[in-house]
Amino acid sequence: MHSSEFPKMKTVLAFKCPVKGVYMISNVSLRFFDKNTRGAVTLQVGAIKSGRAVRTENVHRAITVSLILQEVHLENLVTFQLEGGDQIVFGVSSTDFCYAAMRVGWKIRRGVS
């Protein structure tokens, strides 16, 4: 699924925020588990607020996996100040990518703003 807010990404998951708050995304990981996989995939974490992509100070919001059975982790915490109904989006982009099954992991917490 392509999102017009992130045109170079294919959305794999969108989490709709139930209430206003500071949303903290941690423990983000990506792993290929199909031995026939070729190429590299980058997983990006973003947010959509009122139908527009959110700009953030979190520079490192992406991880790339390229080896079969490799698991990579996003080391830093990603935060967004969001309203109820806004979305946190996980998407992938690839170059020279061929067939894969992958596992995406994450943890989302909300703090009061």
We report the CATH number of the domain holding residue 29 as 2.60.120.40
pLDDT at position 83 is 93
pLDDT at position 1 is 41
- Report residues of the chain scoring pLDDT below 50: 1-2
Structural domain including 88 reads 2-111
Cα dihedral sign for 75, 27, 59, 22?
negative
> Distance between CA atoms of 92 and 81, rounded to whole angstroms?
23
Q: Is the pTM of this model over 0.75?
A: yes
pLDDT at position 67 is 77
pLDDT at position 53 is 79
How many domains does the chain fold into? Answer: 1
